[in-house]
Structure 1
Amino acid sequence: MCGIAGVYHPGTPKPVDRARVLAMADAQAHRGPDGAGVWTAPGVGLSHRRLAIIDVAGSPQPMQDGDLTVTYNGEIYNFAEVRGQLHAMGAKFVTEGDTEVLLHAWRAWGPSMLERLNGMFAFALHDAGRQCLFLARDRLGVKPLHYVELSDGSIAFASELKGLLAHPLLRRAPDLSAIEDFMGLGYVPDDTCVVAGVKKLPAAHFLLLERGRGIPHPQRWWDMDFTRRASGSVKDLEAELVERMRAAVRLRMVSDVPLGAFLSGGVDSSAVVALMAEASKDAVKTCTIGFRETGHDERAYADAIAARYHTDHRERVVAADDFALLDRLTTAFDEPFADASALATYRVCELAREQVTVALSGDGADEAFAGYRRYKFQAAEERVRGMLPRGLSSTVFGTLGRLYPKADWAPRPLRAKTTLLALADDGATAYARSVGVTTPALRQHLFTAAAWSQLGGHRAEDRYIATMRDAPARDALDRAQYADVQHWLTGDILTKVDRTSMAVSLEAREPLLDYRLMEFAASLPVSMRLRGGQGKWLMKKAMERYLPRDILYRPKMGFVTPISAWFRGALADEAAALARSQRLLQWFDGPAIEKLAADHKAGRAEHGRTLWQMMTLDRSLAHLFG
């Protein structure tokens, strides 16, 4: 795993300052503490920070082969297979790693090379003969890539935003629409950036910059397809699923440095550990973190899996009031990020890095196999919507929802107001709101009238609604999962894992995001993803031979951070102080924030997540803009 950066002049090939390009990479030194490199030529400069995983003693970057030069972040898991194909075509290799494969693959196949790669990657490849720079990102957006057009006409790119911030020509100004997106979703989506003008290359896209031509739009080279349906018996599909999971895990166990796994005790990480143990001669190194609060602690389940598979297991208890980590995470993420589980994720990465350089995780199964509870509610609501004509259902449920009292404090079955209002909307609109954090009504209340007017009707939820409307899908569940892969997975889950793992120079690998496994999951009949209110139905059935039932069928916990309690206790004063932050008062109404904090502290309302958003936004604005 690595950090990359560079500058390219698509017009006149102006000289590139070598020290400037290296400084962009050095700003990301945590991504690659094992080495640094820089290469420049007229109109182009590439730089690299290396975390050595494969071919540790070789494969320095940027790597050259004739007219080709590449700087690359990631892992091509099937590099040996692709290398064999290229060797048969006459390619001569001088290293043992996967980086050189990219150079020969470009020479052989051009942009279509991407279809042959199975991995997580973001890279920049310069072809002096064709006078072009090729930027590409993996199918699911595991590895990040930011870019921006600078005032001198050049394009600067970097793995992380901080790499671009190291360039003196980047003009730092906040983008209000990205702040609205963050307030709505809890993260800044991949199709925008909080620094105006900066873009993120979307997952499964490439950008081909050619000298003398304008800057084109990125081109998509892969997409999830939910329109196909696999045929076969449950037994046959179950067997195929196990084999695909097994292959994905084994492919990601190739490493020249110590390797282990995160083990939370949930279904996904436990399944990965079980398949690793099956494939390994030695004890798998596993780690987990726990909390002193019983309702948040999953160590007993992790211990059970560790004992079952005789792993080399380590655990650490962390304090639930670990909010002192916020400043470190602000630096790691650059952009505001309100998923509070990032604190726990950072701590487990920190623990893993004490013994290993690579750790496998269980991320991706919820999106692939419909594991989130919200899918169950979405499916139930869609059935109810189908019972009445569209116009009538909107009127009936909208009226009932407005009349029903709001009860955020009550158990979910008694919080009917939210459900009734959701039923009054179409499925896409309701689902878009269900994945959000702060509601559109509350956001409008918090923004000043001037800021709300400046947004010009832009709403965070609209991207979800448009994605679900245009999804390659056959069913409402398909559309919800597709939208989550496009937005939630890349913007929240993978951003969280990448930034927290890279902050401690750890490579995280996600076998359950193998694209072949994802494509198979998308083809499963709805009843094999969600059945009887049980998400990940086929996956859990397939894992019954590996995992005990109390692991497979217990309620999902995840990393829970008690932020609501913090804002009624240790962070209550900081919440109140947000109403006086000049950074926030550019766009937000001070008295509205003050009332939000007071109502939460007094228990009159539940605003913990919104207050956490405001706090992380305030810290991020200070970090980015001073």
Structure 2
Amino acid sequence: MCGIAGWVDFDRDLRQERETAQAMTDTMACRGPDDEGLWTAPHAAIGHRRLAIIDLAGGRQPMVAGDAVLTYSGEVYNFEELRAELSALGHDFRTRSDTEAVLHAYLEWGENLAEHLNGMYAFAIWDSRAEHLVLVRDRMGIKPLYYYPTQNGVLFGSEPKAILANPLARRVLDADGLRELMSFVKTPEHAVFTGMYEVRPGQVVHVSRDGLRKRRYWQLDSHEHPDDIPQTVKTVRELLDDIVARQLISDVPLCALLSGGLDSSAITALAAKQLREQNLGTVRSFSVDFAGYTENFKPDLTRSTPDTPYVHELARHARADHTDIVLDSGELMDPGVRSAVLRARDLPMGIGDMDSSLYLLFKAIRGHSTVALSGESADEVFGGYRWFHEREAVEADTFPWLAIPGASAHIGAERLLKDDLGHDLDLAGYRDERYRQALAEVPHLPGESGHERRMREVSYLHLTRFVQILLDRKDRMSMAVGLEVRVPFCDHRLVEYVFNAPWSQKTFDGREKSLLRAAAADLLPEGILQRVKSPYPATQDPAYDRALHDQARALLQQGDSPAAQLIDWDKARATVEQPPGPSTRTALERLLQLDQWLRRYEVELAL
């Protein structure tokens, strides 16, 4: 893992711009607390901050070989096979790092190197001989990468903050950026800030004196699935065994994130099994809980049970060395924590306590481990969310996650917008436009029709849009404290295989995630195996909502908030006085974050 940043300019000598390039690199210190490096040439400045995971002594960056300079973030899990293949082709290696394997892969295969990689990665290669830059992002978009074209080149970085540290990057929010921010959709390549773009998952961006061009080296494709249910279950398990084995490789302490659900429990149990078989001890696991949450739990629209009893059951079953991280409302509402969350995300995302608790969980874990395995993305891959199985949501002519009861909790902030602004933005029209755009990409099988056709669409929407929201959140919260989180369910081999399994197979036992449940049947206690999906927890402590309302009320009394350019203050006052609820909480969280974001980031509104 790491943080990368850089600047290419074909009309100036960037050796004279080290101070600015260093400032860009310094913003990535949270992602790479162990080491730093900056390489400059007449038309390129390449920066790196390192979180050392593999080959602690030999993996320093930027790394140079031949005419290529690499700044790299992530992990390539097949690097040992890659090294062997490249060695047979005549390449010599000086280190054990996966970074060097990626660099030599470029020297051998050029921009086609990405097709040879298995992992999560975002990297930039400056080719000194050809004088061009290559930006590459992994197939599922696990690791972020942004770029900002300039008149004579490009700025790039792991996060927007790296780019915004350069005076050439303007901090502008236009109407389209505000639409994206408010809509709870994730449009590929859209970065919210005007003029900035995100490298699309599975994409290569090439920058030279001739301009900028983009190429997709991977995308979901459809083909006939030849396997019956028993063979499909067997293949899923074989893939998971291989994936977890690869992702256990680390030269630093590793752990598992455990929620007591099917996904994280399967990963934790597989890791525990493989570590025991290799005589490497037991797996360490961590979970998040809130003070009094389990004892006073109240079922809601999405959560029927608390996590902790299931967490403890799995920890006993897998013989894990487990720790509960218990948080209270004071920590969740701490201004320093909320400021750190905003800094990590670069955008006011409005989910408040769920971001704060994730940040605090990762911060606590970082005191013990540097790498964590996560069950993230299994719901998108195997069809776990309840809206995959609700006819109204499936048949709705929009993104399914926006068509369920309670969906307004995610987008409640729009109700606070000034009436004329809300009318001009036409957020409903924007969501519809993005939905049509996504549908047009779906690779259908010839002759596919009916429910199977629709469920392929629903799966595609989740694997290319919804999952990006969650992967970005997890990356930002973990890397803000220098913790690498690996997501085995995002291995592209598993994603491709399960995407093409018929929906009838994915629900063969009449439940959600049938294939995963069957593949993990020998690993888990029956209670966890049959547990109904429960999302990441949100605090139910009334003290949290009281504090939230008090902070929003105090902001409204100040009268100098830059958010007043967007928000109807009368609507906000009425919301503050309403009883707490999911939609109210989201609206007030977004109000507070918008205020802080506009102030701290000095955003220029161009609406």
Q: TM-score, normalization: structure 1? A: 0.86
Aligned length: 575
Aligned to 2:174: 175
Aligned to 1:362: 375
Amino acid at match of 2:37: G
Give unmatched runs, 5+ long, in structure 2: 298-304
Q: Distance in 1 between matches of 2:349 and 2:427?
A: 24
1:482 to partner: Cα distance: 1.1
Aligned to 2:365: 352
Equivalent in 534, 537, 549 of residue 560 of structure 1: 537
Aligned to 2:311: 302
Q: Distance in 1 between matches of 2:461 and 2:541?
A: 28
- 1:384-411 per-residue CA deviation (whole Å, 9 max, x = no partner) reads x6xxxxxxxxxxxxxxxxxxxxxxxxxx
Residue 320 to residue 190, structure 1, CA distance change in 2 (3 Å): farther
Aligned to 2:251: 256
Equivalent in 573, 587, 595 of residue 618 of structure 1: 595
Contact 1:4-1:49 within 8 A present in 2 as well: yes
Amino acid at match of 1:207: V
Residue 587 to residue 363, structure 1, CA distance change in 2 (3 Å): same
Residue 16 to residue 137, structure 1, CA distance change in 2 (3 Å): farther
Q: Distance in 2 between matches of 1:57 and 1:606?
A: 50
Aligned to 1:105: 105
Residue 533 to residue 345, structure 1, CA distance change in 2 (3 Å): farther
Aligned to 1:412: none
**Equivalent residues in 2 for 1:265-414, closer than 5 Å:** 265-280=260-275, 281=279, 282-291=281-290, 292-294=292-294, 295=297, 297-320=306-329, 322-324=332-334, 325-340=337-352, 341-377=354-390, 379=391
1:466 lines up with 2:466 in the alignment:
no
Q: Distance in 1 between matches of 2:10 and 2:384?
A: 45
Q: Report the secondary structure of 1:133's partner residue.
A: strand
1:430 to partner: Cα distance: 5.8
1:516 to partner: Cα distance: 0.4
Contact 1:433-1:439 within 8 A present in 2 as well: no
Contact 1:572-1:597 within 8 A present in 2 as well: yes
- Most deviating of 471-480 and 496-505: 471-480
Contact 1:445-1:592 within 8 A present in 2 as well: yes
Q: Report the secondary structure of 1:180's partner residue.
A: helix
Q: Distance in 2 between matches of 1:619 and 1:501?
A: 21
Contact 1:145-1:201 within 8 A present in 2 as well: yes
Amino acid at match of 2:486: R
Q: Distance in 2 between matches of 1:460 and 1:374?
A: 18
Amino acid at match of 2:169: L
- 1:454-505 per-residue CA deviation (whole Å, 9 max, x = no partner) reads 6698624531332024311452122122112222211x21111111111111
1:167 to partner: Cα distance: 1.4
Q: Distance in 1 between matches of 2:364 and 2:215?
A: 39
Contact 1:448-1:587 within 8 A present in 2 as well: no
Q: TM-score, normalization: structure 2? A: 0.88
Q: Distance in 2 between matches of 1:6 and 1:194?
A: 20
Residue 437 to residue 57, structure 1, CA distance change in 2 (3 Å): farther
1:595 to partner: Cα distance: 2.5
Amino acid at match of 1:354: G
**Equivalent residues in 2 for 1:27-46, closer than 5 Å:** 27-46=27-46
Aligned to 1:94: 94
1:540 to partner: Cα distance: 0.7
Amino acid at match of 1:481: S
1:451 to partner: Cα distance: 6.0
- 1:514-572 per-residue CA deviation (whole Å, 9 max, x = no partner) reads 11011111011102223566211111122111111211222222322147956752222
Contact 2:393-2:400 within 8 A present in 1 as well: no
- Most deviating of 265-274 and 229-238: 229-238
Contact 1:61-1:70 within 8 A present in 2 as well: yes
Amino acid at match of 2:417: L
Q: Report the secondary structure of 1:335's partner residue.
A: coil
1:348 to partner: Cα distance: 2.3
1:60 to partner: Cα distance: 1.2
Aligned to 1:585: 564
Amino acid at match of 1:589: D
Q: Distance in 1 between matches of 2:509 and 2:174?
A: 44
User: In percent, how many aligned pairs have the same letter?
Assistant: 32
Contact 2:153-2:207 within 8 A present in 1 as well: no
1:221 lines up with 2:217 in the alignment:
yes
RMSD of aligned Cα (Å):
2.6
1:163 lines up with 2:162 in the alignment:
yes
Q: Distance in 2 between matches of 1:432 and 1:223?
A: 24
Residue 7 to residue 16, structure 1, CA distance change in 2 (3 Å): farther
Amino acid at match of 1:552: L
Amino acid at match of 1:471: V
1:140 lines up with 2:150 in the alignment:
no
Amino acid at match of 1:459: Y
Equivalent in 454, 474, 480 of residue 458 of structure 2: 480
1:588 to partner: Cα distance: 2.6
Equivalent in 515, 528, 551 of residue 492 of structure 2: 515
Q: Distance in 1 between matches of 2:368 and 2:148?
A: 37
Contact 1:79-1:98 within 8 A present in 2 as well: yes
Residue 610 to residue 91, structure 1, CA distance change in 2 (3 Å): same
Q: Report the secondary structure of 1:256's partner residue.
A: coil
Aligned to 1:415: none
1:443 lines up with 2:414 in the alignment:
yes
1:311 to partner: Cα distance: 1.3
Q: Report the secondary structure of 2:243's partner residue.
A: helix
Q: Report the secondary structure of 2:124's partner residue.
A: strand
Aligned to 1:4: 4
Q: Distance in 1 between matches of 2:259 and 2:359?
A: 14
1:299 to partner: Cα distance: 1.9
- 1:175-230 per-residue CA deviation (whole Å, 9 max, x = no partner) reads 33222222221x765532332212111111110112x21223x22111122x3242
Give unmatched runs, 5+ long, in structure 1: 386-421
Q: Report the secondary structure of 1:599's partner residue.
A: coil
**Equivalent residues in 2 for 1:47-66, closer than 5 Å:** 47-66=47-66
1:157 to partner: Cα distance: 0.7
